[in-house]
Amino acid sequence: MLIKMKNEPKLMKMRWVGAAVLLSMYASSSWAFGIDDVAKQAKDLAGKGFEAPKSNLPSQLRDMKFADYQQIQFNHDKAYWSKLKTPFKLEFYHQGMYFDTPVKLNEVTATTVREIKYNSDYFNFGNVKHDPETVKNLGYAGFKVLYPLNSKDKNDEISSFLGASYFRVIGGGQVYGLSARGLAIDTALPSGEEFPRFKEYWIERPKPQDKHLVIYALLDSPRAAGAYRFVINPGKETTVDVQSKVYLRDKVGKLGVAPLTSMFLFGPNQPSPMVNYRPALHDSNGLSIHAGNGEWIWRPLNNPKHLAVSTFTVENPKGFGLLQRGRDFSQFQDLDDRYDQRPSGWVEPQGDWGKGRVELVEIPTADETNDNIVAFWTPETLPEPGKEMNFKYRLHFTRDENQLHSPETAYVKSTLRSTGDVKQSNLVRQPDGTVAFLVDFVGPEMSKLADNTPVTPQVSVGDNGEVVEQSVRYNSVTKGWRLVLRLRVKDNKQPTEMRAALVNGDKTLTETWSYQLPANE
């Protein structure tokens, strides 16, 4: 009896603990919000006719200029989750200008989903004239995510979801540059591009110890609907794990999966037509592709005079992205916009994506305010409307492009364009009507080669060009090799295609440099 009385409290305690665990397990298994909840809505949407979003903006906010819209600022001391012990905070974008339709925002907790209601008290309107009564029932145009990225004592904006299906992400020591998108439809087709939009978001409330943030989004457009799950992992290199389930409403001409959007105005491969103190001005300077067969391809970007589309047929790509190769401040000389600190965007597919192609679209632009570069994956075949398509991939936003390369394969450090010339007997160089390219290849394994290693070029040029010179020499500065390619263009009104790689015997040493010299008229 004494023994029973002595152990009874412990037994009761154990029973209560066991019951609590069972209740906890039951609660967690009986309710959990996930991508399938969003996918159900997306599939339902795809089975119905598209309803275009309606603007609810009063005229004084819809007709405002960009400078006025910038005056509407979120009050930082009212950041969402600011009173919770979580490293993540949210701030919201006010509607205005062409951000004229609201997106619905929801918070997901351990037990429920609730809408984050619009509150004009979150904002400072500056000198923008508005009637408080006309804005009290508006919504948000989007949101941004804050996290102590560069210092434990300061919240940095690390991500922004604003406009169509666009979102931007940065890592440590970076500033905003290129954007990612949920989906692209009919980009660069004569019929015109369709821009799907994220109409509703669900954001999981993070726990105090969480180092990642989970966001769900519902995508809608005239010919597609979709469900997305984003897991943002902030760091020196911020990554975003993306899962998408897409349903077509109707047939599309071209479906762009994992699209990246960037800007290229000029650079060493295409110098500025006007005198400019900046040697280069771009968010990205090339498209990199790691094909399923192991080949690496580098395509320097252009700002063409006419719309240009380049296609790279790839089965089960290992990765592709728009990169900012070369990060010395001296390459940009811009203290205001810091193009040297803008991230590269790399798409790492999860699983086999099958047959398809990586497509690069280059659009003419006169200034740096227009995103004129688009890259995406497009499947060879698409399912019938209503059938589910699944794509999983990891997005990398990084300033360390070297870690994206295979160390045994040398890569293109720079592409330099020049007027072609020949050296006369008096040593004066005389232009001869050709175009010259100097391509520097570098890499960890290449730097170990002796400077007298017999490195030779493999060059191919399209029908619109004639090779006048192709030579390779050791570059003692970069510990790599420089390819000099000089060619004569037959018709300046047509683009000229070029490909080149360096080999040593039967061993390929480098990635493939693939370039399109734009038409000059």
Instruction: Give the pLDDT confidence of 286-332 residue by residue, as tens digits.
Output: 999 999 999 999 999 999 999 999 999 999 999 999 999 999 999 99
The yes-or-no verdict on residue 476 having pLDDT over 90 is yes
Report the distance separating Cα 484 and Cα 516, nearest Å: 16
Distance of CA 255 to the CA centre of its chain: 16
Report the distance separating Cα 271 and Cα 136, nearest Å: 50
Indicate the pairing of strand 296-300 with strand 344-350. Answer: unpaired
Under 8 Å between Cβ of 53 and 109: no
Q: What is the pLDDT of residue 104?
A: 98
Q: What is the pLDDT of residue 438?
A: 98
3-state helix, strand and coil shares in percent for the chain, rounded to the nearest 5? 15, 45, 40
Q: How many CA atoms lie within 13 A of 503 on its CB side?
A: 10
Q: What is the pLDDT of residue 311?
A: 97
Indicate the pairing of strand 238-248 with strand 388-398. Answer: antiparallel
pLDDT tier at 129, thresholds 50, 70, 90: confident
Q: Where in the chain is the domain with CATH 2.60.40.10?
A: 411-517
Contacts of 216 (CB under 8 A, 6+ apart): 33, 34, 35, 37, 38, 108, 201, 202, 203, 227, 228, 229, 230
Q: What is the pLDDT of residue 433?
A: 92
The yes-or-no verdict on residue 26 having pLDDT over 90 is no
- Give me the CATH topology for the region 411-517: Immunoglobulin-like (2.60.40)
**Averaged confidence pLDDT in the chain:** 92
10-24, 175-189, 446-460 — which is least confidently predicted?
10-24
2-11, 356-365, 455-464 — which is least confidently predicted?
2-11
Helix residue spans in 392-517 (DSSP H): none
Written as six digits, the tokens of 168 are 């931007």
The yes-or-no verdict on residue 473 having pLDDT over 60 is yes
Indicate the pairing of strand 197-204 with strand 104-108. Answer: parallel
Q: What is the pLDDT of residue 12?
A: 47
pLDDT tier at 521, thresholds 50, 70, 90: low
pLDDT tier at 62, thresholds 50, 70, 90: confident
Determine the average pLDDT of the residues in 453-458.
97
Determine the average pLDDT of the residues in 26-31.
52
Determine the average pLDDT of the residues in 171-183.
98
Contacts of 340 (CB under 8 A, 6+ apart): 327, 328, 329, 331, 332, 334
- Exposed / middle / buried, residue 463 (Cβ in 10 Å: 0-12, 13-18, 19+): exposed
- Exposed / middle / buried, residue 82 (Cβ in 10 Å: 0-12, 13-18, 19+): middle
- Exposed / middle / buried, residue 303 (Cβ in 10 Å: 0-12, 13-18, 19+): buried
The yes-or-no verdict on residue 206 having pLDDT over 70 is yes
pLDDT tier at 30, thresholds 50, 70, 90: low
Under 8 Å between Cβ of 422 and 429: yes
The yes-or-no verdict on residue 27 having pLDDT over 60 is no
Q: Where in the chain is the domain with CATH 2.70.98.10?
A: 43-404
Q: Does CATH place domain 43-404 in 3.40.50.12780?
A: no
Written as six digits, the tokens of 275 are 């005198």
Phi, psi of 27 (to 5 degrees): -65, -45
Report the distance separating Cα 217 and Cα 220, nearest Å: 10
Report long-range pairs for 472-481 (Cβ below 8 Å, ≥24 apart). Answer: 472/502, 475/440, 475/442, 476/451, 478/413, 478/440, 478/442, 479/442, 479/446, 479/447, 480/410, 480/413, 480/440, 480/441, 480/442, 480/443, 480/446, 480/447, 481/410, 481/440, 481/441, 481/446, 481/455, 481/509
Residues 65-101 have pLDDT tens digits of 889 999 999 999 999 999 999 999 999 999 999 899 9
Rg for the chain, CA atoms, rounded: 27
- Among residues 176, 191, 206, which one has the least CA distance to residue 90? 206
Instruction: Write the CA distances from 145 to 62, 91, 213, 260, 344, integer angstroms.
Output: 25, 7, 9, 20, 20
Q: What is the pLDDT of residue 309?
A: 97
Report the distance separating Cα 507 and Cα 189, nearest Å: 40
Best mean pLDDT range from 12-21, 203-212, 402-411: 203-212
pTM of the full predicted structure? 0.92
